[in-house]
Each structure stands twice: as structure tokens, then as C-alpha cells.
Structure 1
Amino acid sequence: MSIIRKTAAYILLISIYGFTYLIALLGSIIPHRSWMPTGRIMVTGTFHNPNWYLSHVIPLTRSGFREVILVVDEPQLPLEKVRFVCPPKWVSRLLSRAGAKTIWMTIAGFRYQPDIYMGYHLAPGACSALVAGKLWGRPSCYQMTSGPVGIIGGGVDAIDSVGGLLGHPSKLIEAMAIKVASKFELVVVRGKRARGFLAAHDIKDTVAIITGSVNACPQIPQIDRVIHLVFVGRLSLIKQVHQFIEIIGAVRHIMPNVRAAIVGDGPLMTDLQTYAEKLGLTNNIEFLGKRKDVESIIACSKIFVLTSKSEGLSIAMAEAMVAGAVPVVADVGDLSDLVIDGVNGFLVEPNCIDEYTTKIMFLLQDPSLLEKYSLRAVETARTHCDIAVVSKKWQQNLQNVVLQTSGLNTE
């Protein structure tokens, strides 16, 4: 990685966090009058796939607000109560995608007067929401979807973000990021580990645990499922999909007819296909790309494998569990909030191919045990991530914030 890119990333993050914190301070000093809620939420972020988009946005549409305004690069799947606000392409080329969405969010905020501004990932999405919120005297929400990895060391291990370009950890940028995170009226995390990280930095009262949502679906008995192992996600460095391929290679030594599927697309697709071919696994692994029928593929899969370097609480994993696929996943992020080791799946020491292989074979060689784990996985996912449960949590937290900040709270 060139010194120029590292320096540019360093300067960019310091500029983003410095500017955002300054606006937040000024916004806190300037007195604001009470305001009448409009029943609107304004959200910005990048939605890499339809399932991720639906999992996050549908609960917001059912949270008691009349409209969800999405400031995004381009329109997504149309949903009831959702309005899309997209910057023109020439503005994105001129100011960058993130810069264009920040400007458009601020302009749209003046027009629509939302009750709360929300952003995914701290820089740039949540920072844009915080700036717009302070400028227009409204609360803001930071969705910490990937857990603390976007903050620790300045986000150096968040490979797919600006922080991933730093090359080495930055205590300064980490400290600035924490300062910015403390200025949100609501910080939504996916699980207990992320909440504990924020609490250790004295961010407590504004934090809520809300997962992504999943829909219940019909169950296929494990014995009738034709895919032994499945991975679902973006084919990027942070997902470490090459480890999934290595796991298939190890399992094949014991079970030559093992069948695996990789669902998703991304910058590493060609490299991963080449790697699978190099290991002689082309007859065992099927690269399915980006699909609209992900649910049906998962429903035909016995075990869901996740080898990520870091995660929040994976929506793909929750969707797999509710469909009855048993999770065998790295013990990272907030995955342990859903996966109870040795009960409804297995938590594996990160990067340990042998342990993945052992746990997978333990399940595949005992069909009755696999069926029990499958039923428990379904029950856990429904209890924690059902769309009705998640929508209710959003309703409670968003309405509390609006009530407290609008000046209408009479208590």
C-alpha cells in the first residue's frame, strides 16, 4: 500500500471526525426551540445486497413512523412508506459518493424535516447524519453494524472502509472516533460485545441493542437438504472466504462427496474461483454469485459457515439459522449473541481450519444431532431477530429519542 494512500486516508479521517465533532459541539451550544415531530426518519448508507437492505429498512417502516427517507446512491427495491433521495451522478463524481450524500442529506433535511437522522458506519454515513442533525436541531442515530472494528485503531482492521487504508493503527483517529460516537442521541449496536466496548469508553445511556431482522420460513428436514456447507456474503477480504474454501478441502479428505455453495459477489470472485480450482475443488464448490433466491438456497443447506475476520451480528447468519442451517462460525464480534456453542451451533477459534473441520464433521456424521441443533437454531433466531421483535425495539428507542429531544416530553 503506497504511502500516499495511507497519508490521504489519515488526513481524510482526521478531517471527517474533526469537522463532525466541531459541528456537534456548536450544535450542542446553540439553543433550539421545541419542535413538532413529522413522523419521518432520514437514513443514509450503502446497501450491498437486497437482503441486507430489507432486513434493516422494513423494521424502520414498521416502527410507528409514516415515512422513511433513504439518501442513497440509487433507488433500491420499492417499499411502502419508503422515499428515495439520490444525488445526481455528476455531483457524486465531483464530491465523491460520500460527499454527495452528505450534501443531499442536509438539503433534503431542510425540505422534509425528519424527526431523526440515521447513518450506517461511523465514517462517513453516521457522521453525515450527525452533521445534518445538529444543523437542523434534530437527534441523530449511529448504526454500528460491524461492531467496534470501525473504531479500534482508527478502523485499520475494517478492511473495506477508509480506515483499512491506514496501514497501521492510529490512537489519535480512534480517540476522535470515540468522541464523535459520544455525540449521538442513539447508538444502535448488534450485540453485547459492542455495547461493552462503548461502555468502556463511557458511552452507555445512548446505546441500544437491535439486530437485523429475519422472516420465519418453512423448514426442510436436515435429511432432505442437498448442500452440506454454505457461505453467504460479500466476497471481500474481511470475510476471509479463502478459509471457507480451505475448510471444504479439509472436509473432502473425510467426505469426498461434500457439496458446498458460495452465495454472493464481490471483488475477490475471480481470485476465489482460481483458488478453488488450484485446490482441486471445482466439483465440490459451486459459486452461485449474487442471487435473488438466497432463502431457498439456505433452506437446502445443512450448515452455515462464516470465517470473517470481524462481524457485528451477521444478518446472513441469522437468516441461515431461521431457515434451519446450523451455524459453525468464527467467535468474533457479536455472533455469540445468537450462537450458543454446543447447543445450536459452534463458535470456532478464528482462523483455525482444523477446528472448523472437526465441528463440521461432528455434525455431519450424526444426523439426529444435526437435526436437534437445527431446531434450536431456528428457535433462537426467531426469538431474537423476528421482524416483529426488531420493529418493536426500533419503535421504542426511536420514539423515546424523539420525545426527549423535541421538547414535548412532559415528565
Structure 2
Amino acid sequence: MTISTNTHSPALELTNPRQRPWYIKGLARTTAYIITFTITAVLKLFDKIKPSSRQLDQSKPLTILLTAGSASENWLKNHILPLSHSENCRQIILINDQPALALPKIQCLCPPRWLKMIFGRTPSRLMTYFFTAIRFKPDICGGFHLIPNAMLALIAARWTGAQSLYFCVGGRTEFLGGASHNEKFPFGRTGRNDPRLERRLLGLINRFDRIVTMGTGAKKTLQHFGIINPIEVIPGGIDPERFSPSRETPIYEIVITCRMVPVKRLDIFAQVVHVLRQSLPNIRAVIVGDGEQRPALEKLIRDLKIVDNLYLAGQQSDIPSFLRKARAFVLTSDSEGLALSLMEAMMCGLPAVVSDVGDLGDLVENGKNGWLVKRRDVHAFAEKIYELLTNEHQWNMFSKNARESTFQLSISEIARRWTHFLQVDPRRTKTADLKQAEILET
């Protein structure tokens, strides 16, 4: 396969989120320090005046309060449904921006319209979460992503005496370098790694009673930094009947399902399609998802002259139908946990060609069900995809193995993991807990 070497031209790259004016970076760093200092001070005050988290009564089912922000219905379902199916769960109260998950044992509460008009979407959701915790006094207060959801869950848990639960769904980028590679303001706008801010975030993480990661990489990193509370790898659960292979003739050669945000590096995906077109002139690719970078991506597609080869499907509710119409799944991200999109695609029998980052290697085995590729390497992505699409024997073997490797991620299997994890008593002596937290916060 002949591949052009001119694939890293700056003109072909989307805007780098770290290339921001100095005053924006300065404001972001100052705000990040104020946030972490304030939360740490509040928690230390609680250590003196509030009781520690109560032990869960294993003879009674639990009420769990969660918030996730602007997550899609499909994303929420994959993460929350297995938890609701665990033997320990009586009810899940989900605080969300909009109604979602009308399912047994799951109650979704949204901020009132007037509150959102006054304070904005995210602040009103966080206020609703805190007051709901005070009203219902759940057994567990949890949040997806450290900033800001899990941070608020930690405060709400300490105030009400509940146990705290942190879903580390973004992997190591949620705390490494002071979360400088995070998408959220202010941490993701600081423009540089900040070891001191990293230690502050790790100090807060160490205060959680329970921590759930999507893959083994994030768990090992947290343990390396001295986090000693229970950490369990519990990714989302996938419905094997909903995400099943299709015998229909594929419409697309490759598919990617993701938000259009900088960390997904969709500029790399577009360049890969551009390179593949040299040997596969009629190649068809599709991006399922939407986001802030769509205008820039549309311009890039026009500049690369691949308008007829790369289709932007936008936000879609029926993800399985797009996966069944493709032959292979691609993920060009700079960082990931164990991506739900990857799990769904492989459950549908799609071989995967993904960046060798984060926890993706927990599921993708080189030469067995897909390929792990050096991140941002357009040549390597194009070569592995071309090999997969043109080698029928390899595709059949990878497709079969991809489906089989995801059976461990079914909703019933993940529910069993939750049942076991919720039976673990995370309590340690208060002295040991505070001593370790103070070391990390220094």
C-alpha cells in the first residue's frame, strides 16, 4: 500500500485546545487552585464537626444518588442499568440536565427551569444534587467524572453521612498533570501539567470511600499514587441482544462513534480516510456524534477533498444500526478509559483499530480481535485498516473474537461485579484515612 508522507501539515490539524491566550491560562490555573483549596478546606472542616461515613447495612438494599451531566441516554443506560440490576440496589436517583432512563428502580430528577435560567445548566444541576442528598439521605452519593460531579458528591456524602463513590470514567486524564488534558474549565484550560495541582486532586480522590474505574490502567495508576480505598474495575454493561452482529451487506468500511471534541483527534481520523482513499478510492467512512469541533472538521473534510468518502451522521440514538452497517471500528483518541463506544462496536462483531492509549488494551488484543496503533500515527492506522479490509480471513477471525471478548461485559456480568463491590466495607480508621489524605494534599 502506498502512503503519502505528508500527513502532519499544520493546515490539516484542528485547533489545539492548549494554544490559548496567556491570560486565559492564568485565569484557569487560579480558578483551579481556588476550587481545590476551597473543597479541601470544607472537607477538613467536616472532619472536625461532622461524623464519618456510616457503614452500609448489607441486609437492606441501598439508595444511590448519582449525577453525570450532559451524557447521552445510551451512555447513561450502559453505566447505570447494571448498577440498578445488582442485588444490593433498591433505588437509583439520577440528577440529570434533562429527563432520562425511565426504567425500574431508576428515578431521574432535573433542575427546575427557573433555576437553570438564573444560575445556568451545570450550577443548577449541582445545587439540585446537593439538596436532593439532604432531602433523601441516600446510602451512597456518587458522581461520574471527578470535575465537578464527583467533587460535589464527596461534599454531599460528608454532609449527610453517606458513603462517597467516584466513577473515574475518563481514565488518568482526570487527575494526571492536574487534569490539564481534561476537557472541562478550568483544569483543562491551564495549558500545562501542574504537579502541585495533581497532588491536590489525588488528595481529594483519596477521600472517596469507593472508586470505580473503567479499566486496569487507571486503577494501577491510582494505586501507584497511594490511593488505598477500595478500587474496582467496573466498565459499563452492554446488552448483547441490542448490540449484535448483522448479516446485512455493510454500507461503510469504517465507523467511529464519539463526541466531536479535541481529545478524540478526529483530524487524525479524517487524514486516515484521506490516505486510504489512495488505495481504496470508494472507501466510505462515518462519524456518529456531534460537538464543538464540527465546523472545523467539516472544513478539514472539504480541504482534504473527502466529502464523498466521509459522512458526518451527527448525534444518533440508534447506535447499533450504524455499527451493523460498518466493517471495522476506529478510535483515534489521544486518551481514553475503556471506551463504551469500543465495547459496543466489538459486541457487534466489529474488529477494532484504536490508539494504544489508556485502557483500550484491556479489550483489544493485537492480532486477535483488532490492532493497537501508536497514537496520531496516520500511516500505522491506514496500514492496519487497509490490511483488515482487504484480508477476508483476518476480518472473519477478528470479528468472531471481538464478539466473544465482550461477553464478559454484558449487563448481567457487570451487575454481578457491582453486587460484589457494594458488599466490600471501605471504612478504615479515621486517623489512617486523614493521614494519607494529608500526605497527598501537601
Normalising by structure 2, what TM-score? 0.86
Greater Cα shift, 190-199 or 44-53: 44-53
Q: 1:394 to 1:16 in 2, by over 3 A?
A: farther
Q: Structure 1 CA distance, aligned partners of 2:144 and 2:183?
A: 16
Q: Structure 1 CA distance, aligned partners of 2:55 and 2:221?
A: 33
Identify the match of residue 62 of structure 2 among 18, 36, 39.
39
Greater Cα shift, 30-39 or 252-261: 30-39
CA positional deviation for 1:89: 3.8
- Where in structure 2 are the equivalents of 1:120-135 lying within 5 Å? 120-135=144-159
Q: Structure 2 CA distance, aligned partners of 1:47 and 1:104?
A: 15
The corresponding residue for 1:149 is: 173
Identify the match of residue 36 of structure 2 among 17, 24, 29.
17
CA positional deviation for 1:303: 0.8
CA positional deviation for 1:93: 4.8
The corresponding residue for 1:193 is: 217
Q: Structure 2 CA distance, aligned partners of 1:102 and 1:310?
A: 27
Q: Are 2:238 and 1:211 equivalent residues in the alignment?
A: no
Q: 1:164 to 1:268 in 2, by over 3 A?
A: same
CA shift digits 1:317-356 (9 cap, x unpaired): 1000000111100011100000011111000000000000
- Where in structure 2 are the equivalents of 1:363-374 lying within 5 Å? 363-374=388-399
CA shift digits 1:126-161 (9 cap, x unpaired): 000000000111110111101111211111112345
Contact 2:206 2:229 in 1 (8 A): no
1:396 is paired with a residue whose SS is: helix
Q: Which amino acid aligns with 1:24?
A: L
Q: Are 2:197 and 1:178 equivalent residues in the alignment?
A: no
The corresponding residue for 2:16 is: none
Q: Which amino acid aligns with 2:100?
A: Q
Unaligned runs of 5+ in 1: 406-411
Identify the match of residue 422 of structure 2 among 398, 403, 410.
398
CA positional deviation for 1:6: 2.2
The corresponding residue for 2:72 is: 49
The corresponding residue for 2:295 is: 270
The corresponding residue for 1:79 is: 103
2:277 is paired with a residue whose SS is: helix
CA positional deviation for 1:400: 2.6
Q: Which amino acid aligns with 1:286?
A: Y
Q: Are 2:326 and 1:301 equivalent residues in the alignment?
A: yes
The corresponding residue for 2:162 is: 138
CA positional deviation for 1:196: 1.3
The CA RMSD measured in Å over matched residues stands at 2.0
Q: 1:249 to 1:160 in 2, by over 3 A?
A: farther
Identify the match of residue 163 of structure 1 among 179, 187, 193.
187
CA positional deviation for 1:38: 6.3
Greater Cα shift, 1-10 or 179-188: 1-10
1:253 is paired with a residue whose SS is: coil
CA shift digits 1:217-263 (9 cap, x unpaired): 43225x83231000101011111111111101111101111111111
Contact 1:16 1:127 in 2 (8 A): no
Q: 1:187 to 1:323 in 2, by over 3 A?
A: same
Identify the match of residue 220 of structure 1 among 233, 246, 257.
246
Q: Which amino acid aligns with 2:143?
A: G
Q: Structure 1 CA distance, aligned partners of 2:47 and 2:369?
A: 46
Contact 2:284 2:310 in 1 (8 A): yes
Q: Structure 1 CA distance, aligned partners of 2:151 and 2:117?
A: 20
CA positional deviation for 1:96: 4.6
The corresponding residue for 1:326 is: 351
Q: Structure 2 CA distance, aligned partners of 1:401 and 1:234?
A: 37
Q: 1:392 to 1:74 in 2, by over 3 A?
A: same
Q: Structure 2 CA distance, aligned partners of 1:348 and 1:34?
A: 45
Q: 1:245 to 1:74 in 2, by over 3 A?
A: same
1:400 is paired with a residue whose SS is: coil
Contact 2:70 2:97 in 1 (8 A): no
Q: 1:26 to 1:397 in 2, by over 3 A?
A: farther
The corresponding residue for 1:317 is: 342
The corresponding residue for 1:235 is: 260
Contact 1:55 1:214 in 2 (8 A): yes
Q: 1:47 to 1:59 in 2, by over 3 A?
A: farther
The corresponding residue for 1:409 is: none
Q: Which amino acid aligns with 1:181?
A: I
Contact 2:206 2:228 in 1 (8 A): no
Q: Which amino acid aligns with 2:301?
A: A
- Where in structure 2 are the equivalents of 1:107-118 lying within 5 Å? 107-118=131-142
2:412 is paired with a residue whose SS is: helix
Contact 1:160 1:236 in 2 (8 A): no
Normalising by structure 1, what TM-score? 0.92
Q: Are 2:369 and 1:349 equivalent residues in the alignment?
A: no
Contact 1:86 1:101 in 2 (8 A): yes
Q: Structure 2 CA distance, aligned partners of 1:267 and 1:91?
A: 25
Q: Structure 2 CA distance, aligned partners of 1:233 and 1:40?
A: 31
Q: Structure 1 CA distance, aligned partners of 2:290 and 2:309?
A: 19
Identify the match of residue 6 of structure 1 among 11, 25, 28.
25
1:303 is paired with a residue whose SS is: strand
**Identity fraction in percent:** 29
CA positional deviation for 1:213: 1.4
The corresponding residue for 1:408 is: none
Identify the match of residue 62 of structure 1 among 85, 90, 95.
85
Q: 1:160 to 1:325 in 2, by over 3 A?
A: farther
Unaligned runs of 5+ in 2: 1-19, 429-442
CA positional deviation for 1:401: 4.3
Contact 1:148 1:197 in 2 (8 A): yes
